[in-house]
Amino acid sequence: MLQPVILCGGDGTRLWPASRKDLPKQFMPLRGSTLFKQAVTRAAAMPGALSPLVVCNHNHRFLAASQLQEALAELPAESAHPANGLKGNLLLEPVGKNTAPAIALAALQLLNSGSVMLVLPADHNISQPESLAQAISAAMPAAREGALITFGVVPTAPETGYGYIQQGPALGENLFKVAQFVEKPQEDRARQFLAQGGYLWNSGMFLFTPERYLQELERFAPAIYEACTKAFAARSTDMDFLRVDAEEFAACPADSIDYAVFEHTSHACVVPLHTQWSDLGSWGSLYETAPHDENENATEGDVLLHDCKESFVFSQSRLVAGIGLSGLVVVETPDAVMVAQRGRDQEVKAMVQLLKKHKRPEAENHARVYRPWGSYESLIMGDRFQVKRIVVLPGQHLSLQKHYHRAEHWVVVRGTATVTVNTQELLLKEDESTYIPIGAVHRLSNQGKLPLEIIEIQTGSYLGEDDIVRLEDIYGR
């Protein structure tokens, strides 16, 4: 059996301002879908694959659960895979500890299942997934025999943004011993790799049995193995989520699978992969994989360009008009605009650190904030008042709560709202409203089949999100 494991724990800071801590790049809408949903669809296309096991950060659990359900529901009937006992469960990391511990948790969950793990990052773009499927099928026998297999993409350019894997002696058809892993090189060295041959881009995709991985992890990174084993032993379930013990996992060292295992084990093998691949880790990589116009510009969203060349303009919320741009990256979101030279877009991470230094909320939060029940966004804020747009998904409920410092007016603009205010229950339709006094116990629910949209007007001496006293919450917050 082939068990896909999708890793989606990264923050994606190099795609700021579109990607942020509360909505990292794997979950953000991009070209009609999200990278995470594309990864789920790609995993489903693998021959004999079971339903995926997803490893994600605790803070993104509802985003991952929602998008996983959407992706599985969109699969054609012939792509339905047999149940594997996971039922789409998400395995939650209390904190990010890099790939070696994340994969260890998945391996512990799959131990003695008779499966081979296919580890796939959630933020990759693969234009020819059939090539990956063929490579996986060819590598399965070696994985069953105990090989730890990684997939190296045959390079097409002297890329300095990727690590490399050097092929060693051939072990079979399209299977090679790993000679060494190479850190991201300078351009002259990357050109040498391309000219010499035998060097592959490190894709971060892996194939092995859970037993072999845990055996090698225990041997070469015993502290990680011990911490993960203890954290997993104290696991608990919550709805579709599998939670490991937060305190035990916090003690786990952070390390990548390359450093912790693959650079030490004698079982490491690499399969060359001939496909168009990108980890979409920067705006430059998005530019390279996007359609270009006759002047080598790439755009997404509401964009108009005049006399521009070799630029990438990305708009989320409004018209962006460019005149005379050359070699620039322009990214617009509702609350931030970034402009950079295209060759320096790898430095976006430094800008995020600068924002954090100045304690700017834009470093981590979007104007639209996602919650398990839907989303909200602040439209305007002034002295003692704030106006928000709230969207509640069908069948979802906000927590039963109260506020000590603010009152609220709710106006329904789309859908039907079920509103609880103290002991009273109201049914509000479009263009109807209600008032929530300070201190009143209240709840907003959408029992309909369409999204509910309301405008909330807050008034009071303090309007912070921490002025919420939750009395009952179906999401366990």
Given the DSSP bridges, would you call strands 53-57 and 2-8 parallel, antiparallel or unpaired? Answer: parallel
**Domain 2-278: which topology?**
Spore Coat Polysaccharide Biosynthesis Protein SpsA; Chain A (3.90.550)
* Cis bond upstream, residue 394 (ω within 30): no
Q: What is the pLDDT of residues 174-201, one digit of tens each?
A: 899 999 999 989 989 999 999 899 999 9
What was the pLDDT predicted at 84? 47
Q: What is the pLDDT of residues 403-459, one digit of tens each?
A: 999 999 999 999 999 999 999 999 999 999 999 999 999 999 999 999 999 999 999
> Are the CB atoms for 470 and 401 separated by under 8 Å?
yes
pLDDT at position 127 is 80
What span, in angstroms and rounded, lies between the C-alpha atoms of 225 and 218? Answer: 5
Q: Which residue has the higher pLDDT, 100 or 345?
A: 100
| Complete DSSP assignment for 296-317 | S-EEESSEEEES-BS-EEEESS
Mean pLDDT, rounded, for 219-226: 97
Residue 2: the pLDDT is 93
Does residue 87 have a pLDDT over 50? no
CB 3 within 8 A of CB 53: yes
CATH code, residues 368-472: 2.60.120.10
Instruction: Output the six-digit token pair for 388.
Output: 């928000």
Other beta carbons within 10 angstroms of residue 200's beta carbon come to 26
Tokens 């430095």 locate to 347
At residue 245, the 3 state secondary structure works out as coil
Long-range contacts of 109-114 (CB under 8 A, 24+ apart): 109/53, 109/232, 109/242, 110/3, 110/5, 110/53, 110/210, 111/210, 111/211, 111/214, 112/211, 113/1, 113/3, 113/84, 113/210, 114/1
Structure token digits, residue 431: 């263009």
pLDDT in tens, 318-356: 999 999 999 999 999 999 999 999 988 878 989 999 999
Check whether 44 has a pLDDT greater than 80.
yes
pLDDT average, residue stretch 50-55: 92
Q: Give residue-wise pLDDT tens across range 141-150.
A: 999 999 999 9
Q: What is the pLDDT of residue 45?
A: 82
The segment(s) of the chain belonging to CATH 3.90.550.10 are 2-278
Give the tens place of pLDDT for each residue, 250-287. Answer: 999 999 999 999 999 999 999 999 988 888 778 988 89
pLDDT at 83: 46
Q: Using the 8-state DSSP alphabet, how is residue 186 labeled?
A: P
> Token match 């026998």: residue?
141
Question: pLDDT averaged over the chain?
Answer: 91
Transcribe 330-383 into DSSP letters.
EEEETTEEEEEEGGGGGGHHHHHHHHHHTT-GGGT--SEEEETTEEEEEEEEET
| Per-residue CA distances from 209 to 141, 273, 359 (Å) | 11, 20, 44
- Residue range(s) occupied by CATH 2.60.120.10 in the chain: 368-472
